[in-house]
Amino acid sequence: MDDRYSRQILFSPIGKEGQIKLKHKHVLIIGAGALGTSIAEILTRSGVENITIVDRDYVEWSNLQRQQLYTEADAKKRIPKVIAAKERLEAINSKAKIKAKIVDVTPIEMIQLVKGIDLIMDATDNFDIRMMINDASQKYNIPWIYGAVVGSYGISYTIIPNKSPCLHCLMKQLPISGLTCDTGGIISPIVQLITAHQTVEALKILTDNWEALRNKLISFNIWTNQQSSIDVKTLKDRNCLSCGQTPTFPFLNYENQTKTAVLCGRNTVQIRPASTEKRDLQKIASQLENMGKVEQNRFLLSFTIKPYRFVMFQDGRVLVHGTNDVIRAKSLYYRYFG
């Protein structure tokens, strides 16, 4: 057994057998922002060698305050988050096999992503995707760990199919639907606190220490020194459409997903086209170069015509920076990208 894990192996609930299990388990991390980078680094350092990271965005200066795998160089070059994360993680652990997916998750992608996965880690910032994770977890019997942070507040809950209430059950009873990033900001310590709880639960699951799971929803406000631990098992709903007796998994239906999204706290609208075939970014750049400032790398195209900036990815998805008005964003999208 590799010396690098000697201290972890000395921890008897993991031991040599648990370390071997970590090596062979496959974890899916959805989101490569504050939560995702912290989760990915902890699991990579712990010896989880098979990790898939999914994110739709690229590194910006405002990320560097709390998203621990990224550097100023990544922000300057607007490197996709999952590409920068993969490079850092493989430098941390050369045995790690990191799969980087630059995609905006829809039900179609979700069903593909969960194949062969042992655990899903929630590191996203919107409930469209979280509810898709929840339904995929229930449909394919894969545990997942919910986590969210905003300001100085954070929350986490471990969901085990056929045992615990799912997120859909909780949404009907608890006021957690507003927990996304927003203009209220965020401080880095709450990220580390929540990912500590998420990843210790992950280690328990991945090493089959099921009896050690917390089985409670926890929340913290580290600025006001408040914390709570809630037993939610009685909230499991036998009629829940996601985990009840006759589930229909409604959030895996594409019709239930929006094709535009206002990105929280960023004055940005994301537009997903109807088709996701690969775009010729070089050709598009040549069409735009006489209209505004065009920058390009092999992953994306940036086009600025003040007061707006557009970022197009190879799958045709566009981020419209400078507005949170969906109608205005669509108008601009059609004007410049057809």
Helix (H) or strand (E) holding 302: strand 300-305
Distance (Å, rounded) from C-alpha 153 to C-alpha 168?
Answer: 21
Summarize pLDDT for 194-253 with one digit per residue, the tens.
999 999 999 999 999 999 999 999 999 999 999 999 999 999 999 999 999 999 999 998
- For 39-105, the DSSP string reads HHHHHHHHT--EEEEEES-B--GGGTTT-TT--HHHHHHT-BHHHHHHHHHHHH-TT-EEEEEE---
Q: Of the candidates 220, 150, 152, which has an alpha carbon nearest to the alpha carbon of residue 178?
A: 150
Specify the pLDDT at position 328: 82
Mean pLDDT, residues 27-31 = 97
Specify the pLDDT at position 12: 97
310 pLDDT exceeds 90?
yes
Mean pLDDT, residues 136-140 = 97
| Residue 111: pLDDT band with limits 50, 70, 90 | very high
**Phi and psi at residue 53, in whole multiples of 5°?**
-115, 130
Query: What is the residue-averaged pLDDT of the chain?
Result: 90
Query: Domains along the chain?
Result: 3-254 (3.40.50.720), 258-337 (3.30.310.10)
Specify the pLDDT at position 177: 47
Point out the catalytic residue in the list 181, 240, 243, 264.
181
Specify the pLDDT at position 120: 98
Lowest average pLDDT, out of 95-104, 256-265, 279-288, goes to 256-265
Catalytic residue flag (residue 181): yes
Specify the pLDDT at position 262: 83
* pTM of structure: 0.82
| Residue 90: pLDDT band with limits 50, 70, 90 | very high
Distance (Å, rounded) from C-alpha 269 to C-alpha 104?
Answer: 13
Lowest average pLDDT, out of 3-17, 65-79, 174-188, goes to 174-188
Summarize pLDDT for 143-189 with one digit per residue, the tens.
999 999 988 999 999 999 999 999 999 987 665 544 445 435 789 99
| Residue 254: pLDDT band with limits 50, 70, 90 | low
Summarize pLDDT for 33-55 with one digit per residue, the tens.
999 999 999 999 999 999 999 99
Specify the pLDDT at position 266: 81
